Structure 1
Amino acid sequence: MNDLDTCLRCRRDLRDHEAGRYLCERCETHAARALTEIPGLYKQLGTQLQRGAGTAPAVSGSKAAPVPLRLDILDLQMEKGPILGVLQGWVRDWEFYGHAELAETNTLQERVAGACRTLRYNLGWAVTHHPAVDEFADEVLSAHRTLARVTTGETPPRRIAVTCPCQQTLRITLDTRGVTCPNCGTGYGHSDVLRLPLAERRAAA
């Protein structure tokens, strides 16, 4: 169990009822929601497979060349890709501790759903007993963001420039879990880095 008084992922101070956990309840909730939504987003990848799919009506008898497939979508759908590969990697890890069971005989869609289901079911154990659960949450949330951007057109988080007291400019997003200044080596947790002053814009030359 966690001997520190902060969440390993967002570096927020743990509340009294969160003592001993590796993740705070907020980070656990984010991971749980991602695991719930990933199967549906993964299923939607098929509708995005062709470039320009859905942008023009099909014409019967057309002799035009077929629309090329999007290789980035194919990569996301692969067994060893950044979605199923990541999920099953964590299932294998948790299986070692007796808290998951890997199924490799179903369709890829069913395996994604099954992996998310078993990880979601055992998440409560992981946040109090698995010292790398922060890495797990980061990878699951990254997979969810990737799927959301592809299937819904969600734009990446806006980057903000803030200034460290040493005058080094740091570029962060509202989701940044923490950052270390490359100039002075000061480490900032999520809430601390958001308190830094905005960097002044440089005048155009």
Structure 2
Amino acid sequence: MLDAPQSYPCAVCDRPSVPRVHPGCQDRIKENLDALPSLYRQLAEALVPGRRGGDGRTATRSAPLPCSIEALDLRARGGIEGVLASWAADFYEREGWTLPQYGSVESAVSGYSGILVINLRLLCDEHPAIRELADEVRQVAGQARRVITGEAPPRKVPVACPCGRVLRVTLDTPGERCGCGQQYGHDELFRLPLAERRAA
């Protein structure tokens, strides 16, 4: 009789997994990395000033901002590019490789996301901070999608850890570590009781 392979908590979502990172989590990281260059380009449209009414006047009573500040932050050095560059640099430094430099922010976003996608299996198998990489890439991709579509950010729900601390999670939160050291996976988070609201 063959023994079932031993499973461990996924390094990203804490669900049982034979590989270090669950295949579904690895697919989601790849999807977000693959989407970032396109999202970066689409954010250029969000930089356009507010729409005008049909008679040539602005659609609002006050003057609109010259552009979307959030879109500008995501497209500037340190936005999407900064997230990808820091993870690519960390990976290359660990491997003892020289990180390529790119001339424009757009080429850096494409280049660094490509580096991370090509090396994703190695990152998932070995990188000690793969959960943080997955979270940062998911967050920046989600933020870019919300700016492009005009969607509101996900609502945070306060849940109570048995230690008394409050964790603020969304339906998309893959897992969370409380300050007391207790680690919760996605499903475990939503089994925690709602935190009591306090009067202001």
Q: What TM-score comes out, normalization by structure 2 length?
A: 0.76
Separation in 2, partners of 1:167, 1:98: 41
User: 1:69-148 alignment to 2 at 5 Å?
Assistant: 69-79=67-77, 81-98=78-95, 102-148=99-145
Q: How much is the aligned-residue C-alpha RMSD, in angstroms?
A: 3.1
Give the direction of change, closer, same or farther, for the CA distance of 1:102–1:10 in structure 2 (3 Å limit).
same
Give the direction of change, closer, same or farther, for the CA distance of 1:56–1:153 in structure 2 (3 Å limit).
same
Separation in 1, partners of 2:64, 2:157: 42
Q: Could you report, residue by residue, the CA deviation over 1:89-122 in whole angstroms, capped at 9, with x for unpaired residues? A: 1111111244976332332212211111111111
Structure 1 residue 188 corresponds to structure 2 residue 184: yes
Contact 1:39 1:109 in 2 (8 A): yes
Amino acid at match of 2:133: F
Give the direction of change, closer, same or farther, for the CA distance of 1:122–1:166 in structure 2 (3 Å limit).
closer
Amino acid at match of 2:121: G
Structure 1 residue 11 corresponds to structure 2 residue 7: no
Once the two structures are TM-superposed, the CA of residue 150 in structure 1 deviates from its matched residue by 0.9
Structure 1 residue 154 corresponds to structure 2 residue 154: no
- Structure 1, unmatched stretches of 5+, are 60-64
Once the two structures are TM-superposed, the CA of residue 130 in structure 1 deviates from its matched residue by 1.2
Q: Which moved more, 1:155-164 or 1:120-129?
A: 155-164
Q: Which moved more, 1:28-37 or 1:158-167?
A: 158-167
- Structure 2, unmatched stretches of 5+, are 1-6, 57-62
Contact 2:49 2:64 in 1 (8 A): no
Contact 2:9 2:15 in 1 (8 A): yes
Percent of pairs identical after alignment?
39
Contact 1:11 1:178 in 2 (8 A): no
